[in-house]
Chains A and B, each alone.
Chain A
Amino acid sequence: MKPFSWIVTALALAVSVGAPAQQKSAADGIAEYRRMLEDGNPAELFEAKGEDLWKTARGPKKATLQRCDLGLGPGVVKGAWVQMPRWFADTQRVQDLESRLLTCMETLQGFDAAEIAKTGFDKGEQATLAALAAWISAESRGQKLALPQAHAEEKRFFELGKRAFFFRGGPMDFSCASCHGEAGKRIRLQDLPDLTKNPGDGIGFAAWPAYRVSSGEMWSMQRRLNDCYRQQRFPYPGFASDVTIALGVYMGVNAQGAKSIAPALKR
């Protein structure tokens, strides 16, 4: 059964106990709320900003990012997002969008990548990264996830990501799989996609970066994973650390073929 219809059923049962009969179910109400927000996603503001930042000469070297290679050749942005994370020969690493942007900002613009990685989210050049991620992902909107798995390191990162996904730890014994290992589950009223397989178009990996209405911020996948680990009660994952990139490969490959709606709008 589709998770959504399942929730409708569950909630209809829950609400029908003593609630006025004419009242819509909570799930219908939430679905209606989400529909009302569809038109006018503030992520658009960040897309515009990101495009501008890509084309503006910045940093110690006063250069633009227009020669940045996101995997499809220098300067090619369209379609790049749905093929990341991937292997990059120049750095000899598997990189996700954010870690790749760090490389470009360092090599092309002369920024200190390690310094940016240490900066708090939404501050300084981290805000730049979030806006760039919004625009770059938007340039692949509607395309299907197609992460390459030809290189041995890409395959190895999938395997490492899978192990990280199921790794239990912390005071509450949570792993990523505790919430995202089964279809049709919720935390409170939030639907939880099953990220061990393709959860469908525009769900899970295919929805980030996203504008978070709760904080009014643009969140990259790196930030999403960071908050997952916070709520998992884990210690702090380094920005663009291998565990975050490996998880990206695992989730992205699992969702292969799903259409990207990033940057999406999220609670």
Chain B
Amino acid sequence: MQRKHTLFALAALAAVATTGLVTGCASRPTPADLDAQALAMIKASFRDQGIAKVDRLNQDLGQAACSADKPPSDDVALRVEAEALASIRWPAGGQYIGDWREGEKLAQNGRGMTWTDSSAAPSANGAQCYNCHQIGKQEISFGTIGPSLYNYGKMRGVKDVADPDSAPIVQYTWGKLWNSKAYAACSNMPRFGHARLLDEQQLRHLMALLLDPKSPVNQ
């Protein structure tokens, strides 16, 4: 027991030492030092559990750029947005719209991708929409992290999703769902297509929920 405790203390000391902060040494870490130390601390603090592996901590450009209490510089933000825009895969055969009923089910479903979920396949995932957005007005349990999407299509003048006049908003909506960072580098919204959270068919159903004039969202 005593030995174990000593080891514990030694390990703690070693951790402090590697960060250049041996007790008695008064030098203040610089912000860059702290950034490196924080990263090392994060990597050392997590372990794999189920489908949630530690590689989820490896940040891409956008995640790293949006990991501070201040937004990134304009040029970095533009780079993130350009990369995100280029990543969008447009739907096969130009088929953008599915069934809003299926879309509503997905929007209600907040499951998926946690270490208690058994599969990371899109079929196991919900779209989580109501966690952050108001959508259909009959659901009163909705979040407010994102804007209200009630009347999303109607307010944007979509009377017929197949009408060429609707094409810009239809494409923007698909792009936003596929990779939200294309339009705002540090958007809070998950990249449903890019991160393979949802497949094309599921995205079509969400498109219908938002844009189909028959969807309750547009009543």
Contacts and interface: CB of A to CB of B under 8 A. Distances in A.
Q: Are A and B interaction partners? A: yes
B69 interface: yes
A93 B67 contact: no
B69 A10 contact: no
Contact of A169 (B26, B63, B191): B63
A257 B54 CA distance: 36
A40 interface: no
Interface residues of B, number: 65
A242 interface: yes
Contacts, number: 180
A168 B35 CA distance: 14
Interface string B11-42: 01101100101010010110000110111011
A15 B16 CA distance: 55
Given A107-B5, A164-B41, A230-B115, 18 more contacts: A14-B140, A60-B1, A152-B28, A163-B38, A163-B68, A171-B190, A171-B195, A173-B191, A185-B144, A186-B144, A189-B140, A190-B143, A233-B52, A233-B114, A235-B47, A236-B48, A243-B41, A243-B45
A187 B42 contact: no
Interface string B115-139: 1100010000000001110100100
A141 interface: no
Interface in B53-71: 53-54, 56-59, 62-64, 66-69
B134 A236 contact: no
Contact of B190 (A10, A18, A163, A173): A173
A172 B1 contact: no
B46 A168 contact: no
Given A14-B137, A92-B13, A187-B131, A163 B35 contact: yes
Nearest to B137: A17
A171 B41 contact: no
A86 to B, nearest CB: 15
Interface stretch (A47-55, A131-139, A153-161, A208-216): A153-161
A264 B131 CA distance: 24
Interface string B183-219: 0000010110001110000000000000000000000
Interface string A219-237: 0000000000111011111
B142 interface: yes
Q: Which of B21, B39, B141 counts the most chain A CB atoms within 10 A?
A: B141
Given A93-B12, A230-B116, A10 B188 contact: no
A140 interface: no
A189 B134 CA distance: 11
Given A168-B66, A185-B143, A91 B12 contact: yes
A164 B39 CA distance: 8
B63 A166 contact: no
A235 B56 contact: yes
Given A91-B9, A160-B38, A166 B46 contact: no
B46 A234 contact: yes
A10 B113 contact: no
Nearest to B146: A185
B9 A92 contact: yes
Nearest to B58: A169
B73 interface: no
Given A187-B132, A235-B53, A230 B114 contact: yes
Nearest to B190: A172
